[in-house]
Chain A
Amino acid sequence: MPNQTTNISIIEEPNVIDDYLLDIIGNEFKFDHEKGLSEWFKNSVDAYIRLGNPDSKQNVILRFTDGIRNGARFECIDFAGMSELDIQKAFKRWGDPEAAKRGLNKRVYGGHGNGGKFYMRQMFDSSYFVTYKNGYLNIFGFNKNKRYGFAEGFQNLKKGPGEALKIAEINKISFPDDLKEAVLSGKKGFTVVKGIGPANMKNVIRLDRLLRKFKNHPQARRILGRIKVWYVYNNSELSLMKPEELNALPEFEKPVYIEIPGTLPIEEENKTISVDMANNKYEAGRLILRTSEEALGRGTRFADLNRIDIVGEIGVIASYQLSELGVTTFPQASFVYGECECPILEDPDLDAVKNDRSKLVEANPRAKALLDWIRERVEELSYKIAEFENAAQETERKRISLAFNEYLNRWKDKFMKKVLAEIFRSGNEGAGSSDNGKIHRGELMFPENGFSFSYPAAEILLNESEIITLKAGSPEPIPIGTVISLKSSNPLVEIEEAKLVIKSDNLKIDKEGKSIAVLNFYVIGKKAGEEGKLTAQAGNLLTEMDLRVIEGAGGKERTKKPKSPTVLLSGFDSDPLGLAPGGTVVLTERDHLVYQRYQDVQNGIYWINTASSIAKSLLDKYGDNSVRWRDYLFQRYVDIFVKEAIYELYKRDPEGFRPELIDAEILGMLVSKIHSRAVEDLDKFFFDDEFEPASEERNKSN
């Protein structure tokens, strides 16, 4: 008995498909109008491509009309046109991947020939197109029953161009003269796709939103950049439409190009497998990431652009918002967008492109691997942006602290020298004390012959203003008001003032009740090793002292120390001496609150330690602009005053350098003077939360 099964041969018949299938597929499209308009728009562009029109010769007009009850209308107009044959052979066919090509070997945007038709069918009360080509006019569309067909009496109707424009209701549009001329002369046809009663906006069209979303739609945006597209609303003039240009994020202006690796891993059933992302037929793709200065996050004007478009052979074959890719780690991702070219996705053997070209086929392993890989790259770029932003915030933070410090520096410069001089004038030659009969150095003694320097000889530091004290018995033998002239025998030992006048303010009383004028003046030694004789003369009285210029610690490296030290912030200010690795002095919490290297001593530099535990806590908890932080800085300035005063005191009067003196003169009088001055000058600095030293104030002060 022969095998009956092997002998059976099926005779092929055309598919019988119920229209309900179109509803099922149509519902999957889930059209929004910008997406639907993009489909019409692409169809127009494809029509031009089929005609061989270059980009510059492709013109599309979108017309929006409302104000008629339930009669709002969208229209998409191109100047290509279709014949009845085009409609019969291509437009009428559902699901034909070659439909857009119409048998030509040209790359076109249209995919499966469904998008535009489904939009017409699903999203309007009624929809049809009027098309005119080579003197024949056709009207084809969908009725309210969602069935398509030619309009009665308008199938392959011979008409003149002028009448055809009138029937299509576009004769009153003031479109460019050359276009109108081309249509009227029969050189060009046209197609007007019309949708009447659009879903969700049958009466009033929300035009701004619609246009904005259309311009940013993945299927439209790239094409809009190349061809001329106008829109017209009711009877307005034509307006040219261009995609919104995004300015790149500063410092991230250059697009990031990343080649897609030859293989990518994916997890499948707890196993990692490799997926080929290129082969002999399809070359490796690439991801291009761009940044936007304006955030593209949800709710923003350009939220739709916060996505990666997957670009196929021509046009976008899928598009993913970054949130859909699972990019969630860094909020900086809202400044990122881009596109990915990956030719192998269109490999028919493993086609990853879906019918509506909105997303790739989820189950396609290449699509899965690629999307994971894109997510990681976007995260990487977002991380870089985050790092940059943190650095920028850090810079801004530092700027605030530096401004406060600069403010305090200027404040200190105004009076530091003066206040120290006041302290030493009053303290150094003060009343002194006696201990078991021993006379301390600080004790004021009547000068020999009624007129003498405090010391017969002294060493002065190179390039420093050094105080010299002269004592004169006054009013006897030298009356108040007497002018004392000063001279140096060596020009390299300079006296800052050539004359002194005895005033009553200068008078002090010694232990025996004698009145003595104590006069201070400054000398500067200009060259180490030089010696000079200072002479003071008051009438017939003359006194002398010897000075020798010596180098301080640092010897030859010593440079001129500024009159007031410069206070800098560790880790914030750059090292003016260029010694610190990395350009700034970085301290630890173990270093002193006020720090100096030996080179700083030579150059009159102090560093406030911003890494001390208290500094760090204040900055972390209250910030650089806080009053508490400002107070910390101020306290360090007080420390610096105290340090300067202590060393000065010891230098001037080592024998009289006693704890009581430091307590009384420095911690008592000096600190009190600094605080009084601060209250007068720094009110806003201490008490105004919003205070920031103004730049104009800085300029004025400079």
Chain B
Amino acid sequence: MKQKSAINLSKAHKLLLVIYEMSRKEKRSLRYEDIVVAAFKKNPEDFHLRGYDEYPDSGDLVHKPLYDFRKKGLLEANNKVFSLTDMGFSFAERLVEALKGKEVVPSDRLSRFAEKEISRIESTEGFKFFLEEDFPKLTDTDFYMYMGTTPRTPRNDFIGRMESVNNAVKELENKENLTPVWKKVLEYHGFITNKFKDIIKHFNPNKNA
């Protein structure tokens, strides 16, 4: 009988899986308190209050990874209500597959979230102008459309969105047999993130475009 190899999963990943389970494959808004309770019920040894095994910890143990996920574009958060992004779902699904013992190999297809991002970028008006090489027409409005944000997007959400777009573009870069349009998407990414690097710097001063 083939034995499963043990996997040492981080608390953060455990938490993400909890949220994935709570979401039931749909984008759902989850209250912080509910996540704290669910994480404790599922993994009491990891998420109990220090010195009180029978009580959940609602402090940084849960709080910090959730906000890290937000910055990585895996979670959306507002006023202690969280929901998985497309990238979050994609990441969690791959984690689940890995835990099932299946080897997670790079697929020739784009992940669900990347496909959605790239398709969204392709449909933007700015991308059409880029294809027509009408570069002067591209304004900050196109940049925000490209990122799926607005100037009002909270900083951490913007960073999360940027992570999401960057990861989608990275997936595209690693893909073989790029279509001509996808090659243009990659060029557009380089162009627009460079042109509006000041906006990126504003929202994410610690990261270069």
Q: Is B29 an interface residue (CB 8 A)?
A: yes
The complex places the Cα of A695 from the Cα of B141 at a distance, in Å, of 36
Distance to closest chain A CB from B162 (angstroms): 13
Q: Which residues of A contact B153 (CB under 8 A)?
A: 553
Cβ-defined contact, B155 with A597, below 8 A: no
Cβ-defined contact, B78 with A651, below 8 A: yes
Cβ-defined contact, A598 with B125, below 8 A: no
Q: Is A441 an interface residue (CB 8 A)?
A: yes
Q: Is B207 an interface residue (CB 8 A)?
A: no
Q: Is A427 an interface residue (CB 8 A)?
A: no
Cβ-defined contact, B203 with A598, below 8 A: yes
The complex places the Cα of A657 from the Cα of B203 at a distance, in Å, of 25
Return the CB mask of A591-602 against B: 1 if under 8 Å, else 0: 110011110110
Q: Is A26 an interface residue (CB 8 A)?
A: no
Cβ-defined contact, A652 with B139, below 8 A: no
Return the CB mask of B20-43 against A: 1 if under 8 Å, else 0: 000000000101000000000000
Distance to closest chain B CB from A577 (angstroms): 13
Cβ-defined contact, B31 with A655, below 8 A: yes
Which one of B78, B79, B139, B152 contacts A588 once the chains associate, using CB atoms below 8 Å?
B139
Q: A588-B139, A595-B141, A655-B29 are in contact. Are A600 and B81 (CB under 8 A)?
A: no
Question: Can you name the residue of chain B whose Cβ is closest to the Cβ of A644?
Answer: B152
Q: Which residues of B contact A554 (CB under 8 A)?
A: 155, 202
- List B116-143 residues whose CB lies under 8 Å from chain A: 125, 137, 139-142
Distance to closest chain A CB from B150 (angstroms): 8
Which one of B31, B81, B155 contacts A553 once the chains associate, using CB atoms below 8 Å?
B155
Cβ-defined contact, A647 with B152, below 8 A: yes
Q: Is B180 an interface residue (CB 8 A)?
A: no
Cβ-defined contact, A597 with B29, below 8 A: no
Q: Which residues of A contact B81 (CB under 8 A)?
A: 441, 654-655
Q: Which residues of A contact B79 (CB under 8 A)?
A: 455, 458-459, 651-654
Question: Can you name the residue of chain B whose Cβ is closest to the Cβ of A458?
Answer: B79
Q: Which residues of A contact B151 (CB under 8 A)?
A: 596-598, 600-601
The complex places the Cα of A24 from the Cα of B199 at a distance, in Å, of 85
Q: A590-B139, A591-B141, A651-B78 are in contact. Are A553 and B203 (CB under 8 A)?
A: yes
Which one of A459, A555, A588, A647 contacts B155 once the chains associate, using CB atoms below 8 Å?
A555
Q: A598-B199, A655-B81 are in contact. Are A588 and B140 (CB under 8 A)?
A: no
Cβ-defined contact, B141 with A590, below 8 A: yes
Q: Which residues of A contact B158 (CB under 8 A)?
A: 553
- From A457, A553, A554, A597, residue with most partner B Cβ within 10 Å: A553
Distance to closest chain B CB from A453 (angstroms): 13
The complex places the Cα of A552 from the Cα of B151 at a distance, in Å, of 12
Q: Is B154 an interface residue (CB 8 A)?
A: yes
The complex places the Cα of A441 from the Cα of B32 at a distance, in Å, of 12
Q: Which residues of B contact A653 (CB under 8 A)?
A: 79
Q: Which residues of A contact B109 (CB under 8 A)?
A: none
Q: Is B51 an interface residue (CB 8 A)?
A: no
Q: A595-B141, A597-B140, A601-B151 are in contact. Are A654 and B203 (CB under 8 A)?
A: no
Q: Is A282 an interface residue (CB 8 A)?
A: no
Cβ-defined contact, A592 with B152, below 8 A: no
Distance to closest chain A CB from B185 (angstroms): 20
Q: Give the secondary structure class of A's interface.
A: loop
Q: Which residues of A contact B125 (CB under 8 A)?
A: 590
Q: Is A257 an interface residue (CB 8 A)?
A: no
Distance to closest chain B CB from A440 (angstroms): 9
Q: Is A650 an interface residue (CB 8 A)?
A: yes
Distance to closest chain A CB from B56 (angstroms): 14
Distance to closest chain B CB from A613 (angstroms): 14
- List A443-495 residues whose CB lies under 8 Å from chain B: 455, 457-459
Distance to closest chain A CB from B163 (angstroms): 16
Distance to closest chain A CB from B138 (angstroms): 9
- From A441, A590, A647, A652, residue with most partner B Cβ within 10 Å: A590
Q: Is B80 an interface residue (CB 8 A)?
A: yes
Q: Which residues of B contact A455 (CB under 8 A)?
A: 79-80
Question: Can you name the residue of chain A whose Cβ is closest to the Cβ of B31?
Answer: A655
Return the CB mask of A628-661 against B: 1 if under 8 Å, else 0: 0000000000000000000100111111010000
Question: Can you name the residue of chain A whose Cβ is closest to the Cβ of B33?
Answer: A456
- List B163-209 residues whose CB lies under 8 Å from chain A: 199, 202-203, 205
Which one of A441, A588, A591 contacts B29 once the chains associate, using CB atoms below 8 Å?
A441
The complex places the Cα of A441 from the Cα of B29 at a distance, in Å, of 10
The complex places the Cα of A232 from the Cα of B36 at a distance, in Å, of 109
Q: Which residues of B contact A553 (CB under 8 A)?
A: 152-155, 158, 202-203
The complex places the Cα of A457 from the Cα of B31 at a distance, in Å, of 12
The complex places the Cα of A266 from the Cα of B142 at a distance, in Å, of 56
Question: Can you name the residue of chain B whose Cβ is closest to the Cβ of A596?
Answer: B151
Cβ-defined contact, B78 with A650, below 8 A: yes
Distance to closest chain B CB from A639 (angstroms): 13
Q: Which residues of B contact A657 (CB under 8 A)?
A: 29
Q: Which residues of B contact A654 (CB under 8 A)?
A: 29, 78-79, 81
Question: Can you name the residue of chain B whose Cβ is closest to the Cβ of A438?
Answer: B28
Q: Which residues of B contact A597 (CB under 8 A)?
A: 140, 151
Which one of B139, B199, B205 contacts A555 once the chains associate, using CB atoms below 8 Å?
B205
Distance to closest chain A CB from B28 (angstroms): 9
Which one of B31, B137, B202 contacts A590 once the chains associate, using CB atoms below 8 Å?
B137
The complex places the Cα of A390 from the Cα of B139 at a distance, in Å, of 29
Which one of B139, B142, B152 contacts A601 once the chains associate, using CB atoms below 8 Å?
B152
Q: Which residues of A contact B202 (CB under 8 A)?
A: 553-554, 557, 598
Q: Which residues of A contact B78 (CB under 8 A)?
A: 650-651, 654
Q: Which residues of A contact B80 (CB under 8 A)?
A: 455, 457-458
Distance to closest chain B CB from A426 (angstroms): 20
Q: Which residues of B contact A598 (CB under 8 A)?
A: 151, 199, 202-203
Distance to closest chain B CB from A571 (angstroms): 14
- From B139, B142, B152, residue with most partner A Cβ within 10 Å: B152
The complex places the Cα of A552 from the Cα of B81 at a distance, in Å, of 17
The complex places the Cα of A652 from the Cα of B79 at a distance, in Å, of 7
Q: Which residues of B contact A595 (CB under 8 A)?
A: 141
Question: Can you name the residue of chain A whose Cβ is closest to the Cβ of B141?
Answer: A591
Distance to closest chain A CB from B155 (angstroms): 4
Q: Which residues of B contact A601 (CB under 8 A)?
A: 151-152
The complex places the Cα of A553 from the Cα of B79 at a distance, in Å, of 15
The complex places the Cα of A554 from the Cα of B9 at a distance, in Å, of 36
Q: Which residues of A contact B199 (CB under 8 A)?
A: 598
Distance to closest chain A CB from B123 (angstroms): 15
Return the CB mask of B48-75 against A: 1 if under 8 Å, else 0: 0000000000000000000000000000
Question: Can you name the residue of chain A whose Cβ is closest to the Cβ of B137?
Answer: A590
Q: Which residues of B contact A596 (CB under 8 A)?
A: 150-152
Cβ-defined contact, A552 with B155, below 8 A: yes
The complex places the Cα of A590 from the Cα of B145 at a distance, in Å, of 12
Which one of B29, B137, B141, B203 contacts A592 once the chains associate, using CB atoms below 8 Å?
B141
Q: Which residues of B contact A458 (CB under 8 A)?
A: 79-80
Distance to closest chain A CB from B27 (angstroms): 12
Cβ-defined contact, B139 with A591, below 8 A: yes
Q: A459-B79, A553-B155, A654-B81 are in contact. Are A588 and B137 (CB under 8 A)?
A: yes
Q: Which residues of A contact B154 (CB under 8 A)?
A: 552-553
Q: A653-B79, A654-B29, A654-B79 are in contact. List 14 more A-B contacts (CB 8 A).
A: A455-B79, A457-B80, A553-B153, A553-B154, A553-B203, A554-B202, A557-B202, A587-B139, A595-B141, A596-B152, A598-B203, A651-B78, A654-B81, A655-B81
> Residues of B with Cβ closer than 8 Å to A?
29, 31, 78-81, 125, 137, 139-142, 150-155, 158, 199, 202-203, 205
A sample of 20 inter-chain contacts (CB < 8 A) reads: A441-B31, A441-B81, A455-B79, A459-B79, A553-B153, A554-B202, A557-B202, A587-B139, A590-B125, A590-B141, A592-B141, A595-B141, A596-B151, A596-B152, A597-B151, A598-B202, A600-B151, A651-B79, A654-B78, A657-B29
In the A-B complex, list the 5 residue pairs whose CB atoms are closest, starting with the nearest. Answer: A654-B78, A655-B29, A553-B155, A654-B81, A598-B151
